[in-house]
Amino acid sequence: MPTLTSILASHHDGSRSIGETIAAVYRRLRAHGDPALFIGLKPEAEALAEAERLQAEGPQGRELWGVPVAVKDNIDVAGLPTTAACPAYAYTPERDAGAVARLKAAGAIVIGKTNLDQFATGLNGTRSPYGVPRNALRADLVPGGSSSGSASAVAAGIVPVALGTDTAGSGRVPAGLQNLVGLKPSPGLVPTSGVVPACRTLDCVSVFALTVEDAWLALQVVAGPDAGDPFSRPVPLGRLGACPPHLRLGVPCERDLDFAGDGAAQASFARAVAQARDLGAEIAPIEMTPFYEVARLLYDGPWVAERRLAIRDLLARDPEAILPVIRAVIAGKPMPDAAAAFAARYRLAELALAARAALKGLDALMVPTAPRPVTLAEMAADPIGANSMLGRYTNFVNLLDLCALAVPAGLAADGTASGVTFIAPSGYDAALAGIGSAFHAAAALPLGATGAPHPGSPVPPAAAAPGTVEIAVVGAHLSGMPLNGELTALGGSFLRATTTTADYRLFALPGGPPARPGLLRVRPGEGAAIALEVWSLPVAGFGAFVAGIPAPLGIGTLALADGTRVKGFLCEAAATDGARDVTDLGGWRAFVTAQASAA
């Protein structure tokens, strides 16, 4: 199966028609022979007619012109039944969900509705009356859930991209178990209007794809506030940039890692940590206690009552229509009273403070996506325990208002996959994409279960995209430095590392500790080239960033050695009186290193 990016290229250069792409999807689906993959499938003739119309109209700026997509069957697609994997719950919507409407407006063709764990309650993919979608890598393993069909359809090469949902890991665990990219955006970034709720305050629409670049392209299409969705919100998206040259990644400390006795999975994560180091990352072990306690709140606290709210009418009317394991999870114990619900919220707020402290100074947290693969037999023998194990590294993310990106990390000869997930605060989606893209390319794994090679890292962007502003940073906002998070939180993306022209001087301004950098332009021949990084910021983010810059620093226009001129930090000349001149060190990072060595 070609990637989304290659499909678009073939449509635009005319080497393949949209109709040929769609016909190939249905051929692959028939050859794959998995009746549990889709719950509802668009008739091929109807999809081909849609392809013919789009071909005749031309791209018209559509970002996904003629791209086939699959949609999880708890997300509304007009004219196709929504079942949430429960026949008694089924209805046929007249309107598309917000995310689906955006896909269609961008020229995508929805092929059908994919299978899932009933009411999106599960992480294993076996809880459906419509059967178990086959793990595309190995048929005796669970596919992962709850977005099982969406993940299997992409991994098998049926479609290049699919929508899932993710409340507690449903958009990440299936990706980890099937060698895929699973992008779980910041909560509220993608509208959930037209999505059957699991926990409405936590639900996210997620994206499965073969590469990070493909997932990011789909995210750009579906992201953005929806005036009709009270749970959507403006979140800075930024753009997919290059991986910064200096990263600080947190990983669970040794005692907080659990691979459920699987030595191969443990070794795979150790190799992933080594690979991150090879990419230039500094690894910082952190304690996961607050994160794991948050995860326990999800199923021991009031959020189970929120799951019951979504199906309470069906539960009262026809409880036998709901699978026994789903009834046990959602209605198997007394619901918390109002006082207990508030107590849980208070405890979550306390734990969120501890989690933010643990993440401070990190570019991302890197965890195993799931402890280990699980066989169908193991899941049948222990449906609750095995399912809970799969969510060890995922359950806490949405409760803590974090974004996450699952990427492949290993593919063993026996067909078992392992993955890692990068996690960061809300709004850091672009930063995670840059990290994940570099990591996935370096892993050099085939795509999904297709056997196709990874296309390699694209050429890093050298300039800001339309709607963004280039800004040069020289001090504590450099990648891996203490204030870099201010850039990434505003949707910033790393573009390139370079230097100024040779007519600047760098000072360590008094007033610390820590000392602050001051960059001053001087006469030709009196300065030197100073190392810096160029980042891009969305226009709104640039304004917010500049508004927070304290005197004597300001933003001016810097001349760079690569011949460009960009906005960047400058210092008032008067502030350098009595300041230490550190120009001879060539940059602020070298100064910080020298200071640390001297101490």
pTM above 0.85?
yes
**How much is the pLDDT for 447?**
97
Burial (CB count <10 Å: 0-12, 13-18, 19+), residue 280: middle
Q: What percentage of the chain reaches a pLDDT higher than 90?
A: 86
Burial (CB count <10 Å: 0-12, 13-18, 19+), residue 408: buried
- Arithmetic mean of pLDDT, 5-32: 97
**How much is the pLDDT for 512?**
66
Among candidates 408, 380, 467, which has minimal Cα distance to 127? 380
Which comes out higher in pLDDT, residue 99 or 549?
Answer: 99
Strand positions, DSSP E, 42-116: 68-72, 109-114
**How much is the pLDDT for 461?**
67
Q: What percentage of the chain reaches a pLDDT higher than 70?
A: 99
**How much is the pLDDT for 192?**
98
Among candidates 111, 91, 88, 110, which has minimal Cα distance to 99? 110
Confidence of residue 395 (pLDDT cuts 50, 70, 90): very high
Residues of each domain in the chain carrying CATH 3.10.490.10:
468-598
Q: Give the tens place of pLDDT for each residue, 38-91.
A: 999 999 999 999 999 999 999 999 999 999 999 999 999 999 999 999 999 999
- pLDDT value at 451 more than 80: yes
Q: Give the tens place of pLDDT for each residue, 169-197.
A: 999 999 999 999 999 999 999 999 999 99
Of 147, 148, 150, 170, the active-site residue reads 170
Among candidates 201, 266, 258, 250, which has minimal Cα distance to 229? 201
Lowest mean pLDDT among 52-66, 239-253, 298-312, 370-384: 298-312
**Eight-class DSSP state of 80:** B
Instruction: Report the mean per-residue pLDDT for the chain.
Output: 95
**How much is the pLDDT for 459?**
66
- HEC-encoded secondary structure of 176-200: HHCCCEEEECCCCCCCCCCECCCCC
**How much is the pLDDT for 305?**
87
| 113 assigned to active site | no
Confidence of residue 278 (pLDDT cuts 50, 70, 90): very high
**How much is the pLDDT for 310?**
85
- pLDDT value at 460 more than 70: no
Residues of each domain in the chain carrying CATH 3.90.1300.10:
4-246+366-443
Rounded distance, CA 469 to CA 471, Å?
A: 6
And the tokens for 518? Answer: 């001051």
- pLDDT value at 544 more than 70: yes
Of 42, 104, 113, 146, the active-site residue reads 146
- pLDDT value at 390 more than 80: yes
> Which residues lie closer than 8 Å to 435 by C-beta, 6 or more apart?
243, 244, 247, 363, 364, 405, 422
Q: Given the structure tokens 């012109």, which residue do they identify?
A: 65
**How much is the pLDDT for 331?**
83
Q: Give the tens place of pLDDT for each residue, 109-156.
A: 999 999 999 999 999 999 999 999 999 999 999 999 999 999 999 999
| 206 assigned to active site | no
Please compute, for residue 117, the number of CA atoms within 13 A of its CA located in the half-sphere on the CB side.
33
Rounded distance, CA 357 to CA 355, Å?
A: 5
Phi/psi of residue 17, nearest 5 degrees = -85, 160
Confidence of residue 1 (pLDDT cuts 50, 70, 90): low
Q: Give the tens place of pLDDT for each residue, 289-344.
A: 999 999 999 988 889 888 898 899 999 999 999 999 999 988 877 888 889 999 99
The CATH number of 468-598 is 3.10.490.10
- Arithmetic mean of pLDDT, 17-28: 98
Q: Give the tens place of pLDDT for each residue, 570-589.
A: 999 999 998 999 999 999 99
**How much is the pLDDT for 517?**
93
Of 42, 72, 113, 184, the active-site residue reads 72
**How much is the pLDDT for 90?**
97
- pLDDT value at 513 more than 70: no
The CATH number of 4-246+366-443 is 3.90.1300.10
| 146 assigned to active site | yes
